[in-house]
């Protein structure tokens, strides 16, 4: 008999969220993460900030981790979208949608710590950390895993393996799964800056000829900057003095937030689209970036991964309630059918935005500016787009509707 019902490889934000979502279910779960545990007072190499959608906030509410995250999360009350140097712009306002906020700008580190804490309280979840999955073999009744835990090699068995091991997933590589890939020829330089005339709660997405520039509101008048640039500019942007970097950013973004200053450490991420053709295989599911790595325009990657988590937890909960094997092909097929549409639509939308707005050709420029102006004038179109970006479109899992998972046996 398998030692675990579910083994999750990768305890990043997506894998950690799935483990947390399974904490009340009658399942034996292991989470394997190669990075060591991070203490709350330890400086973090990861200063990323995530624009969490309203749907994701509801999911975190259902997992019970939101109260620990809320104090450092800044609500997004309105969004200003524009095409730099051209007339097209559009505004989205949360009052029009009748919601508390479109989403929340949240440090990745705060979410990571809240998830780690929630797992400490879960008796059915064993966290192996630092531990690395070295190899796995799939059989008819389960999956055998070879793991390096500290200086030891361990062998474990599970009914279902969940690959949440990120964009360079070694599980995906080992199985030689087919991936559709596109290199955007762009890097995202991320940092935070202080604005002397902040607009509380207003996020900016400005499309420029090298890619989108996002300024996301944070507490205390700071803004998280996601600056998409050509790789030839990246080293320059990273090595500029603070004063020269801010001057360059100010020239790029303008003066809507007054004078910008005090940039934090800068980091660069190369941008690629990676979509695995099939997210389920025998006794295996790929979720989060292992299944779909997206361009960060409109901040959809983690939000999409968290909807995978909510749907998979619900499917596994249903299987457990009916006494079914967690890795049964029918359970995985139900999950894949449910998630396919959202995964494909979200990937298509972000890919289109990322490609369309860098085309310098005049007819395309005019068309997209008309598109933005049209969006500004058409409430119905704005409403559809806002629902999608808030993660409230389509057939939503219980957690994304603010409901707990059903845990009773039938």
Ligand X SMILES: Cc1cc2nc3c(=O)[nH]c(=O)nc-3n(C[C@H](O)[C@H](O)[C@H](O)COP(=O)(O)OP(=O)(O)OC[C@H]3O[C@@H](n4cnc5c(N)ncnc54)[C@H](O)[C@@H]3O)c2cc1C
Say how far apart CA 260 and CA 211 lie, in whole Å: 21
Q: Interface residues for ligand X in 271-300 (CB under 6 A)?
A: 288-289, 296, 299-300
Tell me the C-alpha distance between 119 and 228, whole Å: 35
User: Across the strands, what pairs with 153?
Assistant: 148
The yes or no reply on residue 116 touching ligand X (CB under 6 A) is no
Among 104, 227, 245, 302, binds ligand X (CB under 6 A): 302
Q: Are strands 260-261 and 179-195 parallel, antiparallel or unpaired?
A: antiparallel
CA distance 363 to 116: 50
Helix axes 329-356, 301-321, angle to 10 degrees: 170
Q: Give the x-and-dash track for 214-233 against ligand X (CB under 6 A).
A: ------------x-------
Q: Among residues 9, 59, 285, 347, which is the contact residue for ligand X, using CB under 6 A?
A: 9
Q: Which is nearer to ligand X, 111 or 375 (CB)?
A: 111
Residue 389 interacts with ligand X (CB under 6 A): yes or no: no
Query: Could you tell me the smallest distance in angstroms from the CB atom of residue 232 to ligand X?
Result: 18
Of the pair 146, 325, the CB lying nearest ligand X is at 146
- The site for ligand X, by CB under 6 A, has a size of 33
Rank residues 50 and 320 by Cβ distance to ligand X and give the closer one.
50
Q: Are 276 and 286 a contacting pair, CB within 8 Å?
A: yes
Helix axes 54-63, 301-321, angle to 10 degrees: 40
* Binding flags for ligand X, 142-181, as an x/- string (CB under 6 A): ----------------------xxxx--x-----------
Of the pair 290, 319, the CB lying nearest ligand X is at 290
Cα-atom radius of gyration of the chain, to the nearest Å? 21
Using CB under 6 A as the binding rule, whether residue 192 contacts ligand X is answered as: no
Biggest alpha carbon–alpha carbon distance for the chain: 65
Burial of 320 (0-12, 13-18, 19+ CB in 10 A): buried
Residue carrying structure tokens 């029918």:
330
**Token pair for 21:** 């979502």
- Calculate helix-pair angle for 13-21, 54-63, nearest 10 degrees: 50
Q: 301-321 and 13-21 helices cross at what angle (nearest 10)?
A: 30
Question: Does 54 interact with ligand X (rule: CB under 6 A)?
Answer: no
Nearer to ligand X, 26 or 166 (CB): 166
Q: Which of 62, 301, 327, 397 binds ligand X (CB under 6 A)?
A: 301
Q: Please choose, out of 8-16, 277-285, 365-373, 377-385, the segment that lies near ligand X by the rule CB under 6 A.
A: 8-16
Nearest distance from residue 129's CB to ligand X, in Å? Answer: 9
Nearest residue by C-beta to ligand X? 12
Q: Is 133 in the site for ligand X (CB under 6 A)?
A: yes
Written as six digits, the tokens of 58 are 């509801």
**Alpha carbon distance 234, 269 (integer Å):** 10
Structure tokens at 224: 């998280």
Comparing CB distances to ligand X, the nearer of 151 and 360 is 151
Interface positions, 346-375, toward ligand X (CB under 6 A): none
Between 27 and 105, name the residue whose CB sits nearer to ligand X: 105
Contact positions toward ligand X, by CB under 6 A?
9-15, 32-35, 50-51, 132-133, 164-167, 170, 188, 190, 226, 269, 288-289, 296, 299-303, 305
């Amino acid at each position: 008999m398998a030692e675990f019902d579910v083994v999750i490889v990768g305890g990043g934000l997506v894998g950690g969220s799935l483990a947390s979502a399974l904490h009340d279910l009658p399942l034996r779960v292991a989470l394997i993460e190669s990075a060591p545990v991070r203490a709350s007072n330890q400086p973090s190499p990861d200063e990323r900030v995530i624009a969490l959608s309203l749907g994701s906030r509801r999911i975190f509410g259902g997992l019970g981790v939101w109260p620990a995250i809320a104090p450092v999360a800044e609500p997004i009350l309105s969004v200003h979208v524009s095409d730099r140097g051209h007339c097209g712009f559009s505004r989205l306002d949360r009052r029009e949608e009748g919601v508390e906020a479109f989403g929340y700008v949240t440090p990745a580190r705060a979410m990571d710590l809240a998830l780690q804490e929630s797992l400490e309280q879960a008796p059915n979840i064993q966290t192996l950390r630092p531990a690395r999955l070295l190899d796995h073999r799939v059989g008819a009744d389960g999956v055998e895993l070879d793991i390096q835990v500290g200086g030891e090699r361990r062998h474990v068995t599970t009914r279902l393996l969940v690959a949440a091991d990120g964009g360079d997933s070694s599980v995906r590589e080992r199985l030689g799964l087919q991936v559709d890939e596109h290199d955007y020829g762009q890097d995202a330089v991320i940092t935070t800056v202080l604005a002397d005339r902040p607009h509380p709660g207003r996020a900016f997405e400005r499309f420029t000829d090298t890619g989108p520039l996002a300024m996301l509101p944070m507490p205390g008048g700071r803004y998280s900057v996601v600056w998409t640039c050509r790789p030839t500019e990246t080293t320059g942007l990273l090595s500029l003095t603070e004063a020269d970097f801010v001057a360059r950013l100010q020239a790029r973004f303008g003066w809507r937030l007054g004078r910008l200053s005090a940039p934090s450490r800068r980091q660069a991420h190369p941008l690629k689209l990676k979509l695995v053709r099939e997210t389920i295989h025998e006794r295996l599911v790929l979720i989060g970036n292992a299944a779909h790595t997206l361009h960060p325009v409109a901040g959809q990657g983690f939000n999409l991964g968290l909807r995978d988590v909510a749907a998979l937890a619900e499917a596994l909960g249903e299987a457990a309630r009916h006494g079914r094997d967690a890795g049964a092909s029918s359970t995985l097929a139900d999950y894949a059918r449910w998630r396919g549409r959202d995964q494909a639509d979200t990937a298509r939308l972000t890919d289109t935005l990322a490609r369309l707005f860098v085309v310098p050709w005049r007819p395309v420029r005019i068309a997209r500016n008309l598109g933005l102006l049209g969006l500004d004038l058409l409430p119905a179109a704005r409403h559809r787009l806002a629902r999608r970006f808030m993660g409230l479109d389509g057939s939503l899992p219980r957690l994304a509707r603010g409901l707990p998972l059903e845990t009773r046996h039938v």
